[in-house]
Structure 1
Amino acid sequence: MNDETALIARAVDGDKAALEQVVRLLQDPLYRLALRMVWRPADAEDATQEILIRVVTRLSSWRAEAKLLTWAYRIGVNYLLNLRRQTPQEVRELSLDEFRDSLVDGLATADYTGPEASLLVNEVRLTCSQAVLQCLERAERIAFVLGEVFELSSTEAAWILEVTPAAYRKRLERARRRIQAFLNSTCGLVNDNAFCRCAKRVDKAVAVGRVDPRQPALATHPVSGRGVEEAAVQLHDLHDAAAVFRAHPDYAAPKAKTDAVLALLNSGRFPLLK
């Protein structure tokens, strides 16, 4: 019996310490998955709580056909693809072309040099890459996140999405082409000849409310590994489209939400299925 199998067996048998270990093991990866799909941290927190409850209450059905996290991703992806709540881009049905046009509007002639310049430039970069993802329809977005951001193999990603590897690769390639074309024509981080620069978007992003200078949502987000600056090094080293999306810090799920999940599970309202 391997470590994961033994851990799940203990959790299903009612070992509260094992149950907590499962939740702590999965919380951050599932939160990062949710954040890439729903954009805003508050919405990602709510989604992660729901996904964790679904995962834990189905632990007895896990048969080690995939790694525990991969299996949890399948449950999370199914929840996120069917989520009724829409992101702002989904509500507006904003396309990548329309988003590109919006970035031209209000682009400053010089880099932002005001208070907390580095922090706010990072916030613009992180927020913008999140917004780009939301311009993809959900099936393409999740294919891109699994393959290009999380760097899962096509076999793993196809299993999560319950499609054939060939179908997954076709979906990923479609998303990859759209993202690459957008960034090549727009983003100075990928193409030196592209028009948009994060440091020239700060004033406009603040003015329209995309960035809150008093409380940046992503640049100051708690992390469980890489921070903002460490992640940004990867972007400048690789200088490609996928790196723009991978160069986010290792966001950590809020402890309060995780504690709330554990409290619910320990309350007896969500018994494990033995």
Structure 2
Amino acid sequence: MTVEGTGSSEAADEVELVARAVDGDRAALEEVIRRLQDPLYRLALRMAWRPSDAEDAVQEILIRVVTRLATWRAEARLLTWAYRVGVNYLLNLRRQTPQEARQLSLDEFRDGLADGLAEEDYRGPEAALLAEEVRLSCTQAVLQCLERDERIAFVLTDVFELSSAEAAWILEVSPAAYRKRLERARRRIRIFMDSTCGLVNAEAFCRCARRVPKALALGRIDPARPVFAVHPVSPSGRGVAEAAAQLGRLHDAAAVLRAHPDYAAPQQKVDAIGALLRSGRFPLLE
């Protein structure tokens, strides 16, 4: 696989930037981190589910990217290569999400959503905000019911909208093997969403606003500290309202799972990496 648009100013800019970073230019290295931190955090969040776990994961991934930067040969875009580093880390992460630990299936998750669903939409305080929190939390949880290899395939192509060729390169598998993996994931998600989610199928039983009371009772969402609906986003990225507006125009399973804000990486974790690099105690590049 070669860099998309080889010879373009963007590709040349990446090559020049990485060369300066490898040569010890701290400002160039900080720029590399700045370009990669948010996309890599969003990847970690989709795989690790909880922001706290994603924060720890993205810090480790960024350190791995920095220490291996000299091995980038521009055979793929810098971000695509960084995704390969991140995916390798996330697929082998020992820490499990709650759904993974319970080996929760999509069928069991569907049964859980049906249990306690209110007959009417929630009308209490912050109703719209809490319905969004339910939607964002639920779509995160759905992904965790897939095996990791299927989850990453779905995330790379149907959420991040990478081509099958790029995703296969990231996962270091043949395009044919990748397509089979992706189709398994798509089929499982499609069947679940079509039978469950009212955003995809008007005949399905689940509605975010009717799930709010049960989610509050179970402590799945906290009205005082919503996790996803108020999560910081990238400076030029989509917010919750824009993501929801896009969702309103697209009623398919992939669109529902894709309609998340463009979350930003926690700056304190990124700043910690910068401090580590400036300390002189960190082996900058292998």
| Cα distance in 2 for residues equivalent to 1:77 and 1:68 | 14
| Cα distance in 1 for residues equivalent to 2:157 and 2:143 | 13
After TM superposition, where is structure 1 displaced by more than 2 Å over at least 4 residues in a row? 268-274
Match of 2:241 among 225, 229, 241: 229
RMSD: 0.9
Match of residue 219 from structure 1: 229
| Cα distance in 1 for residues equivalent to 2:276 and 2:258 | 33
For residue 270 of structure 2, what is the amino acid of its counterpart? T
User: Does the Cα contact within 8 Å between 2:66 and 2:285 map onto a contact in 1?
Assistant: no
DSSP-derived class of the 1:250 partner? coil
Cα shift readout 1:67-123 (whole Å, capped 9, x = no counterpart)? 000000000000000000000000100000000000011100100010001100000
Match of residue 58 from structure 1: 68
User: Does the Cα contact within 8 Å between 1:37 and 1:142 map onto a contact in 2?
Assistant: yes
Match of residue 169 from structure 1: 179
| Cα distance in 1 for residues equivalent to 2:185 and 2:274 | 37
How far off its partner does 1:264 sit?
1.2
Match of residue 5 from structure 1: 15
**What TM-score comes out, normalization by structure 2 length?**
0.94
Match of residue 269 from structure 1: 281
| Cα distance in 2 for residues equivalent to 1:269 and 1:235 | 47
Match of 1:40 among 47, 50, 54: 50
| Cα distance in 2 for residues equivalent to 1:195 and 1:232 | 20
How far off its partner does 1:273 sit?
2.8
Cα shift readout 1:38-70 (whole Å, capped 9, x = no counterpart)? 000010000000000000011111110110000
Cα shift readout 1:175-231 (whole Å, capped 9, x = no counterpart)? 000000000000000000000000000011111111111110000000011100100
What does residue range 178-217 of structure 1 map to in structure 2 within 5 Å?
Answer: 178-217=188-227
What does residue range 59-74 of structure 1 map to in structure 2 within 5 Å?
Answer: 59-74=69-84
| Cα distance in 1 for residues equivalent to 2:277 and 2:96 | 28
How far off its partner does 1:27 sit?
0.2
How far off its partner does 1:263 sit?
1.0
| Cα distance in 1 for residues equivalent to 2:86 and 2:193 | 28
For residue 3 of structure 1, what is the amino acid of its counterpart? D
Match of residue 259 from structure 2: 247
Match of residue 146 from structure 2: 136
| Cα distance in 1 for residues equivalent to 2:205 and 2:16 | 54
For residue 245 of structure 2, what is the amino acid of its counterpart? V
User: Does the Cα contact within 8 Å between 2:91 and 2:149 map onto a contact in 1?
Assistant: yes
User: Does the Cα contact within 8 Å between 2:18 and 2:69 map onto a contact in 1?
Assistant: yes
How far off its partner does 1:266 sit?
2.0
How far off its partner does 1:18 sit?
0.4
Name stretches of at least 5 consecutive residues in structure 1 with no aligned partner: none
| Cα distance in 2 for residues equivalent to 1:101 and 1:232 | 25
User: Does the Cα contact within 8 Å between 1:143 and 1:157 map onto a contact in 2?
Assistant: yes
| Cα distance in 2 for residues equivalent to 1:12 and 1:270 | 14
User: Does the Cα contact within 8 Å between 1:59 and 1:272 map onto a contact in 2?
Assistant: no
Taking only the aligned residue pairs, the percentage that are identical comes to: 78
Name stretches of at least 5 consecutive residues in structure 2 with no aligned partner: 1-10
| Cα distance in 2 for residues equivalent to 1:44 and 1:249 | 15
| Cα distance in 2 for residues equivalent to 1:66 and 1:215 | 40
| Cα distance in 2 for residues equivalent to 1:111 and 1:2 | 53
How far off its partner does 1:270 sit?
2.6
Residue 26 (structure 1) aligned with residue 36 (structure 2): yes
How far off its partner does 1:261 sit?
1.0
What does residue range 99-138 of structure 1 map to in structure 2 within 5 Å?
Answer: 99-138=109-148
Moved more, 138-147 or 256-265: 256-265
| Cα distance in 2 for residues equivalent to 1:273 and 1:19 | 11
| Cα distance in 1 for residues equivalent to 2:204 and 2:282 | 52
**What TM-score comes out, normalization by structure 1 length?**
0.99
